[in-house]
Amino acid sequence: MKFEQYNISPLIKQSLEELGFKKPTDIQFKAIPSILKGDDVLGIAQTGTGKTAAFAIPILHLLMRRSHHNLRRQVKCLVMLPTRELAIQIAQVFKDIGKHTELTILGLVGGVDQAPQIKKLDKGVDILIATPGRMFDLVSQGHIDLSRVDILVLDEADQMLDLGFIKDIRDVMKHLPARHQTLFFSATIDEKIKDLAYSIVHNPIRIQISPKDPVSKNVTHSVAHIAMDDKRFFLERLIKEFPNQKILVFVRTKVRAERVFAAMQRVGIDTLTMHGDKDQSDRLKVMNEFKTGKVQVLIATDVSARGIDIQGVDYVVNYDLPDIPENYVHRIGRTGRGVNKGRAVSFCCPEELPILEAIQSYIGKPISVMTIEKTDYVETITFTEDTPNDNWQLLLDEAEKEDATRKKKKKK
Ligand code: AMP
């Protein structure tokens, strides 16, 4: 079934056509009719599945119909998200799909001046897409009235819990009218999420996308066994082998992000970093430079990158394996989005083997191994443009030792 055949406003169909969305993705096909009917939805789907449009399309349609004159420009839909990047990104999807409608959409995040936000709120907003902190500030200052909200969306709920937003979620319910539609989305589901979900949704339609294989079919992923100290040489090689590709590199900590950044700089590779220490304007700048392709490599930590929709990431590199197995799915879900194909590789050192095992058991199958011939391995670490270092010295020492034992054996 194509979007053309859907019973939704022609103004929405027009923007879908402009965005190149012809057919619904799996989650859109399953969620849109239920949301249009007014049902609560519990959706288990990772990003990259088209989850955002799955709720944005029907919400925009419903609100166009409900925008009676006296309700115009009052917050009728609230979308809550755990991070600023996500809120900005989801607001953009609503704006793109709602472009030809008269609905006003506002992405509301902290870390930026609140005066312009207040100005927009005072003029009136139909759909508010927000992170909890700034939203509650402005609710308490009287700039946001949530008493007319009839659709609440909680997106990336598992991450909301991880980041400690449980109280905010409960608090927001106190501001909403008793009767409203709730759409609850999470990439993963465990007992904690289930408890939360079932305490706020009512008789929901449950939609689960590819529960057995959480990795998108569009992503080819593999693991390469590489010693910790050699990872940077392999990253250097990979980036140089794919000069025109957008590469997203995941590391475990912000310190490591900066180290990898410095290592790449030493070999003449321009990269960007994204982690918790960056302020909002830095983050926007980084996102923009990566999105526009000004810089092709972004080094990021999990929290900073979760859920971000960066168009056209060709390659995801797990420079460090993620401590939490499900983050593997989130990370490699940054590529192969929508209908595109993507590739991912994980650099696994011997110390990380237990994590690799945990990831494989989480995704329910082994990850194919990218075999690196010994000569290839040595070539990669010797042909670096990095200045010789301890590692190089170690290798030389090892080669010398081998040589010496070989000579000794010959003498005998
Ligand atoms: P999401 O899971 O919402 O982050 O969406 C992932 C990507 O899929 C985004 O880049 C969307 O633009 C794209 N997308 C969503 N729905 C469709 C569709 N029906 N056809 C093609 N691309 C889509």
Residues 214-265: tens digit of each pLDDT: 677 789 999 999 999 999 999 999 999 998 899 999 999 999 999 999 999 9
The pLDDT of residue 403: 57
To the nearest whole number, what is the mean pLDDT of the chain?
89
Instruction: Label residue 389 by pLDDT band (50, 70, 90).
Output: low
Residue 122 lies in a domain: yes
153 alpha carbon to ligand 1 midpoint, in Å?
A: 18
The pLDDT of residue 278: 82
The lowest-confidence range among 23-27, 63-67, 257-261 is 63-67
Residues 245 and 349 grouped into a single domain: yes
Cα-atom radius of gyration of the chain, to the nearest Å? 24
Instruction: Label residue 399 by pLDDT band (50, 70, 90).
Output: low
Task: Kindly state the tokens that stand for 121.
Answer: 């709120």
Residues 173 and 27 grouped into a single domain: yes
Instruction: Label residue 73 by pLDDT band (50, 70, 90).
Output: confident
pTM for this predicted structure: 0.64
Cβ atoms within 10 A of the Cβ of 276, count?
A: 10
List, chain by chain if needed, residues with CB within 6 Å of any ligand 1 atom.
21, 24-25, 28, 47-53, 309, 311, 337-339
The lowest-confidence range among 147-161, 210-224, 273-287, 328-342 is 210-224
Residue 397 lies in a domain: yes
Among the three residues 183, 208, 233, which one is the final residue of a domain in this structure? 208
The pLDDT of residue 400: 55
- For residues 84 and 109, is the Cβ–Cβ distance under 8 A? yes
Residues 345 and 381 grouped into a single domain: yes
pLDDT digits (tens, 9 = 90+) for 78-99: 999 999 989 999 999 999 999 9
Q: Which residue has the higher pLDDT, 66 or 27?
A: 27
Instruction: Label residue 132 by pLDDT band (50, 70, 90).
Output: very high
Residues 233 and 160 grouped into a single domain: no
Residues 316 and 224 grouped into a single domain: yes
The pLDDT of residue 388: 52
**Percent of the chain whose predicted confidence (pLDDT) is above 70:** 89
The pLDDT of residue 303: 74
Question: Which residues constitute the domain of residue 249?
Answer: 219-411
Closest-lying ligand 1 atom to the alpha carbon of residue 93: 12
Residues 225 and 203 grouped into a single domain: no
Residue 214 lies in a domain: no
53 alpha carbon to ligand 1 midpoint, in Å?
A: 7
Across 314-330, average pLDDT? 92
Across 295-322, average pLDDT? 85
Residues 102 and 229 grouped into a single domain: no
Q: How many domains does the chain have?
A: 2
pLDDT at 212 exceeding the cut of 60: no
Residue 346 lies in a domain: yes
The pLDDT of residue 370: 92
pLDDT at 395 exceeding the cut of 60: no
Among the three residues 153, 185, 208, which one is the final residue of a domain in this structure? 208
Strand order in the sheet with 105-108: 105-108, 127-130, 77-80, 151-154, 181-186, 41-44, 205-208
Residue 172 lies in a domain: yes
Residues 162 and 240 grouped into a single domain: no
How far, CA to CA in Å, does 381 sit from each of 63, 230, 236, 239?
A: 58, 7, 10, 14
Among the three residues 167, 182, 208, which one is the final residue of a domain in this structure? 208
The pLDDT of residue 309: 64
- For residues 154 and 80, is the Cβ–Cβ distance under 8 A? yes
389 alpha carbon to ligand 1 midpoint, in Å?
A: 45
Residues 312 and 395 grouped into a single domain: yes
pLDDT at 39 exceeding the cut of 90: yes
The pLDDT of residue 162: 82
Residues 255 and 165 grouped into a single domain: no
pLDDT at 306 exceeding the cut of 80: no
Best mutation site among 309, 310, 330 for ligand 1 pocket (most ligand atoms within 8 Å of CB):
309
Q: What is the CATH number of the domain that holds 240?
A: 3.40.50.300
The lowest-confidence range among 71-75, 239-243, 296-300, 394-398 is 394-398
pLDDT at 53 exceeding the cut of 60: yes
Instruction: Label residue 312 by pLDDT band (50, 70, 90).
Output: confident
Closest-lying ligand 1 atom to the alpha carbon of residue 311: 10
Residues 223 and 316 grouped into a single domain: yes
Residue 213 lies in a domain: no
The lowest-confidence range among 106-120, 162-176, 325-339 is 325-339
pLDDT at 411 exceeding the cut of 60: no
Quote the Cα angle for 322-271-232, to 5°: 55
Residue 286 lies in a domain: yes
Closest-lying ligand 1 atom to the alpha carbon of residue 46: 2
The pLDDT of residue 94: 98
Residues 193 and 259 grouped into a single domain: no
Residue 236 lies in a domain: yes
CA dist., res. 124 & res. 47, Å (int): 30
The pLDDT of residue 406: 61
The pLDDT of residue 181: 97
